[in-house]
Structure 1
Amino acid sequence: MTATPSWHQASPARQHRPGRAPQPNLVRVLELIAGIGFGLAIALGLSVEGHAALASPGGWPLAIARISAFAGSYLLLVMVVLTARLPWLERTVGQDKLVRWHRKIAPYAVSLISLHVLSVILGYSQMLNKNVVSMLWTFWMNYPDMLSGSVGFVLLLMAAFTSIRIARTKMKYETWWIVHLYTYLGLALAFMHQIRTGVMFLGHEHTIQFWTTLWIGTGVVILLLRVGVPLVRNQQYKLRVASVTQEAPNVYSLTVTGKNIKKMAVSGGQFFQWRFMAKGLWWHSHPYSLSALPRPPFLRVTVKGLGDQSSAIAHLKPGTRVFVEGPYGVFTHHATTMSDVALIAAGVGITPIRAMLEDLPASANVTVIVRATRAEDIVHAEEMKSLVTAREGRYFEIIGSRDEVNLDDEMLADLIPTIATHDIFVCGPTGFTDAVVASARRLGVPHDQVHHESFTF
C-alpha cells in the first residue's frame, strides 16, 4: 500500500485537475429563465378564468386558489433547485447564498400554497352551500387525491416550521435532514393532486404537458446530477478510509485513498458531501472541506466532533468505503480580486484556509491570522507555518479567550495596516465570522473583497 504523504509542504507540482471556474453568465441566464417560467405559471392560472366563472358562487375564491396554486408550486420547484447542490450552480453562487435565496422565497411559497388551500375550501363551500368543516370532510372522502394533497401540505408545513431559526437551533442536523427529506414526498403528492384534480388541467392537454415536463424534467436533472453522476464518479474513485489521526482535542483528520484522484477537479477551500458506509453513518452525508489539496491517491479532510456523524468519524476503521459528492463552494482563489490576500480562521475553519494556501497564485502576498483559546487547539499549525514561510508571507496566532484577547477593529488594523487593499477570506464559527466580516467592512474593505461561506443548516 502507498505510504501516506507528508502534508507539511505544498505539493511540488499540481497532481490533480484544477478546480473549475465559476460561470456567472450561466447563472444570469437561469435567473432570466426562472423569471419567464414564473410569468408562464401565473398565465396558466389565469387562462381558465372568465367573467361567468368569477360571477358564479365561489368564483373569486376559486380563481385565487388556482393562481396561488400555480405560483406557489412553481416557487417550491425553484426552492428545490436552489438547494439541490447542482455542481455548476454551487461553484458559481455558493451554498450559503443559495440557501439564503431559498429561505427568502420560502415564506412566499408557503403563504401562496396556504392561500390556495383556504381559498379552495371557501370557494367550494360557497358553490355547494356547505360549511367549511363539512366541505373539508367531503374533499377527503369523495374527491380524488385531496387526501394525498392534504398530506403533502402538512409535510410542507413541517419543513417550513423546522426551518425557522429558533426551531433549527434546537434540532440536530440529522433530524432536520430527515424532516426535509420528506418534503420531496410532499412535493410528489402535491404534484399528483394538482394534475388530477386541478380544473386548469381538465381538457387542457398542453397545460398538462408543460407542467408535467417542467416538474418531471427538473426531477430527472436533479437525480442525474445528484445520484447518477456521483455514482459513476465514485465507482471510478473507489475511496476508502486509509487512516484517522487526532489533530487537536476532539478534532480528527481522515485520510482516504482511491483511484483516479488525478482526474478530480477541485480547488483549495471547496468541500464535498461525505458519506461513510459504516453503521449509523451510511444513510446521510455531511459537508466537510478538504484540509489539503489532493495528493494522489490520497485526500484528507479534518473534522471536529459536533454532530452524531462528525463524532463517530474518530472510530472509523481503515478500509471503510467512502462516497463523496462535489466539489462544491466558491470559497476559492477564483474569488480573489487583489494581489494581497488575508486568510483569517478560527477553530476547524482553519481547514479550508490550509487548503487555499496551496492553491493561491504564487504571486499572492499572503497574511494568515488564526484564532484559538489555546495553542494546542490550532489545527495544522505547523503545516500552516511551513506553507506561509514558503510563500514569504506573514503568520499570526491570536491565543486566549474572547474576554482576554479580542480580534477587534484595532487589532485587525494593526496586523494588516493596508487591509482595505486585501481580499479577506474568513472561516470559522458563525459568531467569529460575522464579527471579522463586520470589522473588515468598518475598516474600509469593499464588499466584493470579503469572502466567507457558511455550512450551517
Structure 2
Amino acid sequence: MTAKPTSAPPRPGGLLTLGPDGPGEAPRAAASTPRSPAPRPLLVDLALAAVAVGFGLSVGIALTATSHQQLAAPGGVALFLGNVTGLAGTYLALVMVLLISRIPFVERVLGQDTLLRWHRRLAPWPISLIIAHVVILTIGYAQAARTGILHEIGPLVNGFPDMGIATAGFVLMVAVSIASLYPIRRRIKRENWWGLHLFMYLALALAFAHEIVLGPSFVGHPMTQLVWSVAWAATAGLVLTYRVGLPIVRSIRHGLVIEEIRPEGPGVVTVILRGRHLERLAVSGGQFFEWRFLARGMWWQAHPFSISARPQPPYLRLTVKCVGDFTTALARLPVGTRVALEGPYGTFTTHALRTRKVALIAGGIGVTSVRSLLEDLPKGTRPVVVLRASSEEELILREEIAELVKWHGGRLHEIVGPRTAQPVEHLAELIGDLKKRDTYVSGSESFVMSVTRLLALLKVPQEAVHADVYAM
C-alpha cells in the first residue's frame, strides 16, 4: 500500500500519500505542501485586550455625553440610559461580527468552534441591549413630550432623519434573533439558516446612520464620529476581506474541479479534486475548508468538510458522510464540477502538541481528520489510534490509517458495535497512559462529549485534550 516514487502524478483513486519505504523518510504528501502557519497567541491576547478597551471607551463616551441639566429635564434619565444601552449593544454587535469574520491569526489560536461558541453566548447581550435602547428611548421621548408611549412611536420614527431605516434594521435584527432561538433554529435547514443570518449584516448597516446623525455622543463631536465610523468601516473591511475577497482569490488561483467521486462505505463518499498550485496551499492535517460546489442549486451554500489526506498536487481529497440533502446531492455531482474553497480552518493540528506521545480517537466520520493528522505527526510519536464504528463497513479509510500507524511505529485499535456494548471507559484500558499523552478526539458531538468527559474524570489535563466536533 506504499506509494513508490514516480515521475508521473499518482492516480487520484490511489491517494494514499505514503512516501517511499526507506527508513527515516516522511509520508510523501507531508513533504510536498506547506502546513498552515503556527498559532500566535500573543496577537490574540492583544486583540482581546483591544476589544475590552473599546467596550470601555464606548460606554465611557455614552456616560459623559449627558450633562446634569439634561438629566434633570423631563425624560432625561431615560434618554441617558437609552444612549448608554444603544452604544453598548451596537459595540457588542460589532464584536459578534468580528468573532465570525474568519480573521486568520485569531482562527489559528482559538479555532472556529470556540469562536462560534463565543458568538452564540454573546448574542443575547447586544440584542437585549438594543431592544432596551429602543424601549427606553421611546419612554424618554414620551416623557419629554408629555405624551403616551404608544403615541410617541409615530413621531419618533417619522420625525427624525434616518429613523425610518434604523427602525427597519431593528425589525430585521429582532426577527433574526427570534429565529436563532433553539426551538426554532433546530427546525431550520443549515443552508436556510445561513441565508437568514446574512440579514443581520443588513440590519447593522441600516442602524449605522442614525447613530452618527442623532446620537448625543456623536452630534457636535467630529472626532468621536470619525473613530466610530472607522470602527464600523474596519469591521466591514475584515468581513469583506476574509469572508469574501480571500476565498474568491484562492478559489480562482487553485481552480479546483471534481476529478472523481467514489463510494468509501455505507453513505460515505470520497471526493478527489484536481487543481492548480496546490503546492502553495498551506494546510495542516486535521483542518477543514468551507466548500462551495458550483452546481445548480448548490453554489450559494458553503459546507465544512475536513480533508481526509494532505494535498498531493495536483490533487486534494475530502471524505463526506451523506446525511442531508446537500451531501446526498454532492455524491451525484459530475466530474468537472468547479469547486470554491474558504479556509483552511481548525486547531485540530500538530501545532497543539505538548508532548511526543499521542492518542488519536475517532468515531464514525471523525476518522477523516485523524487520517490527515497522522501524516503530520512528527517522527517518534508512536501514536495509539482508536477507531470507533457501529459496523465493520463503517470503518472507512482503515487500510490507509493502518499503514500510517505502522509507519509511525504506533498501535491501532478498532472498536465495532453499539456503544452500550463497548463503553468509552474501555478506552482507558486500550491506551493505558492517557495522562501522559496529547489526546485528539474527533466525531459527532455526542461521541466527543462522552470521550472528553471520560478524560476529565481520568484527570487528563484540559490543555492536552484537542477536540474536533462534526456537526451532523
What band does the TM-score fall into relative to the shorter chain?
A: over 0.9
Counterpart for residue 61 of structure 1:
78
- Provide the aligned length of Structure 1 versus Structure 2: 455
**Counterpart for residue 355 of structure 1:** 372
Q: Which of 6, 27, 50 in structure 1 is aligned with 2:14?
A: 6
- Could you tell me which runs of 5 or more consecutive residues in structure 1 were left unpaired when the two chains were aligned: none
Distance 1:426 1:82 in 2: 24
> 1:67 & 1:456 partners in 2: Cα distance?
38
TM score, norm. by length of structure 2: 0.93
Q: What is the one-letter code of the residue matched to 2:352?
A: A
Q: Specify which of 210, 215, 240 is matched with residue 257 of structure 2.
A: 240
3-state DSSP of counterpart to 1:294: strand
Which residue number in structure 1 is paired with residue 340 of structure 2? 323
Q: Choose the corresponding residue for 2:468, options 442, 447, 453.
A: 453
Match of 1:147 among 142, 164, 174: 164
Question: Which of 219, 224, 229 does residue 207 from structure 1 map onto?
Answer: 224
The answer to whether the Cα contact below 8 Å between 1:139 and 1:147 also exists between their aligned partners in 2 is: no
* 1:177 corresponding residue in structure 2: 194
In structure 2, the CA distance between the partners of 1:140 and 1:456, relative to structure 1 (3 Å rule), is farther
Amino acid aligned to 1:328: Y
Select the residue among 59, 80, 83 that pairs with 2:100.
Answer: 83
Q: Kindly state the Cα deviation for residue 140 of structure 1 after the two structures are TM-superposed.
A: 2.6
| Alignment partners' CA distance in 2, 1:336 and 1:303 | 27
SS at match of 2:84: helix
**In percent, how many aligned pairs have the same letter?**
40
Aligned to 1:187: 204
1:341-380 equivalences in 2 (<5 Å):
341-380=358-397
Q: Residue 128 in 1 paired to residue 145 in 2? A: yes
Q: How far apart are residue 455 of structure 1 and its match? A: 5.2
For each residue in 1:76-123, what CA deviation from the matched residue of structure 2 results, as whole angstroms up to 9, or x when unmatched?
Answer: 001100011222211111111111211222222112111101111100
Q: Which amino acid aligns with 1:451?
A: H
Please name the residue that 2:450 is paired with: 435
Please tell me whether the aligned partners of residues 443 and 468 of structure 2 are also in contact (alpha carbons under 8 angstroms): no
Within a 5 Å distance, the mapping from 1:23-38 to structure 2 comes to 23-38=40-55
Counterpart secondary structure, 1:292 = strand
Question: Equivalent residue for 1:72?
Answer: 89
Aligned to 2:305: 288
- Is the deviation greater in 231-240 or in 209-218? 231-240
1:305-344, Cα deviation, whole Å (9 max, x unpaired) = 1233222110111111111111111000111111111111
CA-CA distance at 1:242 after TM superposition = 0.6
Mean Cα displacement is larger for which, 240-249 or 154-163?
Answer: 154-163
Supply the RMSD in Å over aligned alpha carbons: 1.6
**Residues 41-52 of structure 1: pairs in structure 2 closer than 5 A:** 41-52=58-69
Q: Distance in 2 between matches of 1:198 and 1:454?
A: 43
Q: Deviations over 1:50-72 (max 9, x none)?
A: 10000001000100111111111
Aligned to 2:295: 278
Whether the 8 Å CA contact 1:241–1:318 is kept in 2: the answer is: yes
Alignment check: 8 A CA contact 2:258 2:335 kept: yes
Q: Give distance in 2, aligned partners of 1:248 and 1:456.
A: 19
Is 1:305 the counterpart of 2:335? The answer is no
CA distance in 2, matches of 1:399, 1:95: 31
**1:402 aligned residue:** 419
Aligned partners of 1:87 and 1:327 also within 8 Å = no
Q: CA deviation at 1:181?
A: 0.8
Deviates more, 1:113-122 or 1:153-162: 153-162
CA contact (8 A) 1:271 1:327 kept: yes
Native 8 Å contact 1:95 1:454 kept in 2: no
Unaligned runs of 5+ in 2: 1-7, 20-26
- CA deviation after TM superposition for structure 1 residue 226, in Å: 2.1
**TM-score, structure 1 as length reference:** 0.96
Task: Please identify, of 242-251 and 135-144, the stretch whose mean Cα deviation from structure 2 is larger.
Answer: 135-144
Amino acid in the other structure paired with 2:419: R
Q: Given that residues 287 and 455 in structure 1 are in contact (C-alpha distance below 8 angstroms), is that contact kept between their aligned partners in structure 2?
A: no
Cα deviation code 1:210-263 (max 9, x no counterpart):
111110122112212222222222221111111111111111111111110001
Aligned: 1:164 with 2:181: yes
Q: In structure 1, how many angstroms separate the alpha carbons of the residues matched to 2:392 and 2:51?
A: 49
Q: Is the contact made by 2:17 and 2:310 (CA closer than 8 Å) also made in structure 1? A: no
> What per-residue deviation string (whole Å, max 9, x for no partner) do you get for residues 336-374 of structure 1?
111111111111111001000101111212011111111
Q: CA deviation at 1:441?
A: 1.3
Per the alignment, residue 399 of structure 2 pairs with 382
Structure 1: which amino acid aligns with 2:437? Answer: H
Which one of 103, 106, 110 corresponds to residue 127 of structure 2?
A: 110
The structure 2 residue matched to 1:196, chosen from 200, 209, 213, is 213
Q: What residue is the counterpart of 1:93 in the other structure?
A: 110
Deviations 1:282-314 (A, max 9, x none): 112011110000000000011111233222110
Contact 2:444 2:471 in 1 (8 A): no
Q: For 2:82, what is the secondary structure of its paired residue?
A: helix
- Give the Å deviation of 1:144: 2.5
Tell me the amino acid that sits aligned with residue 433 of structure 2: T
- Determine if contact 2:443/2:470 at 8 Å carries over to the other structure: no
1: distance between equivalents of 2:376 and 2:166?
Answer: 50
Q: Is the 8 A contact 1:261 1:296 kept in 2?
A: yes
Query: Which deviates further from its counterpart, 351-360 or 301-310?
Result: 301-310
SS of match in other structure, 2:469: coil
* Letter in structure 2 aligned against 1:419: L
Distance (whole Å) between structure 2 residues aligned to residue 248 and residue 73 of structure 1: 48
Of 354, 368, 383, the match for 1:337: 354
CA distance in 2, matches of 1:93, 1:208: 32
Rounded to whole Å, the distance in 2 between the matches of 1:271 and 1:290 is 6
In the alignment, is the contact (CA less than 8 A) between 2:442 and 2:470 conserved in 1? Answer: no
